[in-house]
Structure 1
């Protein structure tokens, strides 16, 4: 009897994990598409970048609302609001690269392809090996905080070398976040697909921007 109960619980856990994983990737695909649409609209209408302060207020405000309502249907509305807003902030940055460099379109497509390859490769690795990357949690949180503060310093004090170093740090940290978050879903550490989607989306967003900045420095043609 106890053995049957244990087997039943294991099966239920596997089904629950698969459901979270399926819902996460479905929602992630939809939010990435929506974000691409808002980025395109921002580029088409040549909208100006809202600036660092407004971007941070909008991002953290919508992130707070998404987290607060993550267990309700309203959470889906805020997920799309957050990713749509981030797409709007991305459009002017892409426009800047396409106009500042003669090979700007190539840089953007290379960064996009690199982001996709890294995400698919790391997600596939985590899914196939089913390794537990929960041990990375503390390191990633501290690393992201340090990189964030360093990034602010690079912007405020106009230090190009520091900005480049921060981009490199973010590539490593976001890659780690993809492994960590995928592992959390697989092993039942993350059961809310809305929160899992937001975490993966932010990782992909930052990964793309960081790759684009590094490519612009080393591969951009004026």
Structure 2
């Protein structure tokens, strides 16, 4: 009986650790999404200018690297909110551009609803089936490189339809990251809730922007 109890304890401890990481991740994710939405609203109301590419990439990657370095300290929480707040600020000008369209409000609401539904569905699938999604790591690595090259190409080469293709690619890429990250928490591949939160937040952000772009293009063609 004692041997059996000893065998069960590590499993129970592992399950408690997984539950703790999931709880902390989704709690912090909810807070950062709310904070980001608030910053986006202020940015939209004040009609703040969109950051140029240098500021956008410098701010994002700079804060991302800082958050990664501080992930094991309380300062990591502060940098997490700085990163998500910065991305919230970048949403303001984008929202104003779509609100200038005749059906802009409907497009934003539709993109937001589709993003929420996709995230909840993907997360629920990973949590309920508990399948190991580590096989997606290769797709995510290759996808990140391909999308980055595509983004750079879209800046310098006016290729028709490239933005739409990239938007669709980002939706698929973000979906894969959500499945992979959730599975990593469940199966012990991710034990830092700050990094897990950032990964999920960026996926949600990219998915929302991409769906908004797709809906905008479809709407303009009607």
TM range (shorter): over 0.9
User: Match for residue 90 of structure 1?
Assistant: 91
What displacement does 1:221 show? 7.7
What displacement does 1:4 show? 2.7
User: Match for residue 202 of structure 1?
Assistant: 202
CA distance in 2, matches of 1:73, 1:200: 20
User: Match for residue 40 of structure 1?
Assistant: 41
What displacement does 1:157 show? 1.9
Does the C-alpha gap of structure 1 residues 150 and 221 become closer, same or farther in structure 2, counting only changes over 3 Å?
closer
User: Match for residue 153 of structure 2?
Assistant: 153
CA distance in 1, matches of 2:61, 2:152: 15
What is the CA deviation profile of residues 109-149 of structure 1, one whole-angstrom value per residue up to 9, with x for unaligned ones? Answer: 10000000000000001111111101101211111121121
**3-state SS, counterpart of residue 174 of structure 1:** helix
CA distance in 1, matches of 2:160, 2:203: 23
Q: Tell me, yes or no, if structure 1 residue 29 matches structure 2 residue 30.
A: yes
User: Match for residue 50 of structure 2?
Assistant: 49
CA distance in 2, matches of 1:41, 1:221: 31
Q: Tell me, yes or no, if structure 1 residue 191 matches structure 2 residue 195.
A: no
What displacement does 1:2 show? 4.5
What is the CA deviation profile of residues 40-68 of structure 1, one whole-angstrom value per residue up to 9, with x for unaligned ones? Answer: 11101100101122100000000001000
CA distance in 2, matches of 1:139, 1:150: 16
What displacement does 1:160 show? 4.0
Q: Tell me, yes or no, if structure 1 residue 110 matches structure 2 residue 110.
A: yes
User: Match for residue 65 of structure 1?
Assistant: 66
User: Match for residue 182 of structure 1?
Assistant: 182
User: Match for residue 122 of structure 1?
Assistant: 122
CA distance in 2, matches of 1:65, 1:216: 34
**3-state SS, counterpart of residue 38 of structure 1:** helix
CA distance in 1, matches of 2:8, 2:119: 33
User: Match for residue 218 of structure 2?
Assistant: 218
Note the residue ranges of structure 1 that are not aligned, 5 or more in a row.
none
How many residues were matched structurally? 221
TM-score between both structures, scaled by the size of structure 2: 0.96
**3-state SS, counterpart of residue 190 of structure 1:** coil
Contact 1:104 1:220 in 2 (8 A): no
Q: Which is further off, 147-156 or 166-175?
A: 147-156
CA distance in 1, matches of 2:160, 2:130: 39
User: Match for residue 139 of structure 2?
Assistant: 139
Note the residue ranges of structure 2 that are not aligned, 5 or more in a row.
none
CA distance in 2, matches of 1:122, 1:132: 13
Does the C-alpha gap of structure 1 residues 221 and 168 become closer, same or farther in structure 2, counting only changes over 3 Å?
closer
Contact 1:48 1:92 in 2 (8 A): yes
Q: RMSD value over aligned CA atoms? A: 1.3
